[in-house]
Amino acid sequence: MKIPFISGEGPDGYLPINLYFSPRKIYGRDALVGRPGLLEFCDLGSSAKVRAMAESRGMGFVVSGSGLYKVTPFGGSTLIGTLDYSSGNAWIESNGEQVCVVENNRCYIYEDETLSDVENDDLPFSPASLAYEGGYFLSHDANSENFYESDLYDGSSWNGVEYAITSVKKDYLSSLYAVNGQVYAMGHESGEVYYNSGGSDFAFSKIQGGNIPCGILAEKSGAVFLNSLVALDNTGVVVQLSANPIKLSNEHVDREIASMTTAKDANSFMFSMSGHTFYVITFPTGNKTFVYDMVFKHWYEWRTGTGRWRPNCYMKLDKKHLAGDYANGKIYELSETTYSDDGDEIIRQRAMPVQKGSELVTFSSFELEQEGGVGISTGQGSDPQAVLEVSVDKGKTWGNEKWRDIGKAGKYKQRLIWRRLGRHRDFTPRVTVSDPVRTVWTGAYLNDNR
């Protein structure tokens, strides 16, 4: 009997871990696939959190600790300037000629190989976020409803009388986001949408009816998908923001977020790969990373080891998907042919309830259809294994581990099957693979003696 192990909803509290759903992946069949691994691209040598990243004219610009670094498409890196602070949130944007950085209410401009601090006399407010749209850098004033624009194509000059005052609610702004030609000015309880109207005093005007009825809880939780903004709203759920916000998080993710000591430190990014667009939101205090596939509408948990996933921020550079580490100053390439996180194991795990009832049933076998023969030549992964555990109490506890061969290199017809699984009323299988090998599961079958 075929069971919905690949695409069905797991038991409460058990999202697919380090996997994602891909329809018609192998011979037109749905599959669960291991997520991309992390391959070291460069080490900035800062031994500090990578706080922000952006591409400009074929080069990467990265804030790590107190340093601003230039990164080449080949993995070279150079320290090009020093910021006033080494921690806290940072934003980075480019207008093609200048790179602008905002952090800890300071603004910096990198131009002509020189990093300059925009002095307070030239910056008549305390910058608390950063966006770029239509030739203007945009930033909001800390603890106010106002946001400001730079001079056109010049982030070193800001006019104190050129600003907008958000007005839906008396609500301090939290972050600004550029979304497909528009600017989302998000407060703690509400938001407003602006467009470049070409005004002489202030270039941006509010769109008629551009009111968003919720705010955002975490200032770095927003990421852009097509013509929308996805963020953690002020009630602690993930939404796709518009005049009529669409809730994206499911009950399990909501409950996990609600249980955390704080979710205000959440940060996020969006990346697209192999026909999928993933919204990645990490909760540093909660030590968890949740991932939502915007295309195929599934939630996952991605981990490095047993904690949060290592990427803290993201940029695309010369077709490479690059992510900065939350702790050590490294930049990684997201690689679908790398099966570890810079040497740390990736534990891929899936649980799925398939039998609930009052009748005792004898289960003769469970088979997980897979892509076999994925073993590597030497070391861990040369004889890869999968582990089956069975729960008979709806995922609260798990039975003994049962190990099976995935298949050494070249053993493409290797079957992944477990037999004589006992007599139970409830039956929930959980499969785990930790070897550094390609993981593709395309179907699951459970046979009983009824």
Same domain, 177 and 304: yes
Same domain, 163 and 200: yes
Q: What is the CATH number of the domain that holds 126?
A: 2.130.10.10
Beta bridge partner(s), residue 229:
224, 241
- Mean pLDDT for 257-269 is 97
Q: Is the pLDDT of residue 253 over 90?
A: yes
Q: Is 426 contained in some domain?
A: yes
pLDDT value of residue 62: 98
Tokens of 413: 């017809």
Same domain, 332 and 402: no
- Mean pLDDT for 64-76 is 97
Same domain, 180 and 271: yes
426-448 pLDDT, tens digit each: 888 999 999 999 999 999 998 87
- Mean pLDDT for 310-316 is 98
Residues 139 and 151: their CA atoms lie apart, in Å, by 12
Same domain, 244 and 393: no
Q: Do residues 53 and 321 lie in contact, with contact meaning Cβ atoms separated by under 8 Å? A: no
Q: Do residues 230 and 248 lie in contact, with contact meaning Cβ atoms separated by under 8 Å? A: yes
Q: What is the pTM of this model?
A: 0.95
Q: What is the CATH number of the domain that holds 437?
A: 2.60.120
pLDDT value of residue 413: 87
Same domain, 307 and 354: no
Round the CA-based radius of gyration of the chain to a whole number and report it. 24
pLDDT value of residue 16: 95
Same domain, 306 and 388: no
Same domain, 243 and 127: yes
- How many distinct structural domains can be found in the chain? 2
Look up the domain containing 443 and give its range: 19-35+348-448
Q: Is 13 contained in some domain?
A: no
Same domain, 359 and 326: no
pLDDT value of residue 164: 78
330-362 pLDDT, tens digit each: 999 999 999 999 999 999 999 987 766 667 888
Same domain, 341 and 357: no
Residues 138 and 146: their CA atoms lie apart, in Å, by 11
| Distance from chain centroid for Cα 358 | 41
Mean pLDDT of all residues belonging to the chain: 92
Q: Is the pLDDT of residue 260 over 90?
A: yes
Q: Is 418 contained in some domain?
A: yes
Which of 328, 345, 362 finishes a domain? 345
Q: Do residues 39 and 24 lie in contact, with contact meaning Cβ atoms separated by under 8 Å? A: no
Q: Is the pLDDT of residue 163 over 70?
A: yes
Which of 290, 313, 345 finishes a domain? 345
Q: Is 413 contained in some domain?
A: yes
Which of 290, 322, 345 finishes a domain? 345
Residues 60 and 316: their CA atoms lie apart, in Å, by 9
88-147 pLDDT, tens digit each: 999 999 999 999 999 999 999 999 999 999 976 678 899 999 999 999 999 999 988 999
383-422 pLDDT, tens digit each: 999 999 999 888 889 999 999 999 999 898 899 999 998 8
336 CB contacts (<8 Å, ≥6 apart)? 36, 37, 273, 274
296-305 pLDDT, tens digit each: 999 999 999 9
pLDDT value of residue 447: 84
Q: Is 10 contained in some domain?
A: no
Q: In the chain, pLDDT over 70 holds for what percent of residues?
A: 96
Q: Is 269 contained in some domain?
A: yes
Same domain, 27 and 73: no
pLDDT bucket at 29, cuts 50 / 70 / 90:
confident
Q: Is the pLDDT of residue 169 over 80?
A: no
Q: Is 398 contained in some domain?
A: yes
Q: Is 212 contained in some domain?
A: yes
172-212 pLDDT, tens digit each: 999 999 999 999 999 999 999 999 999 888 999 999 988 99
373 phi/psi in degrees, rounded to 5? 65, 35
pLDDT value of residue 168: 59
Same domain, 251 and 376: no
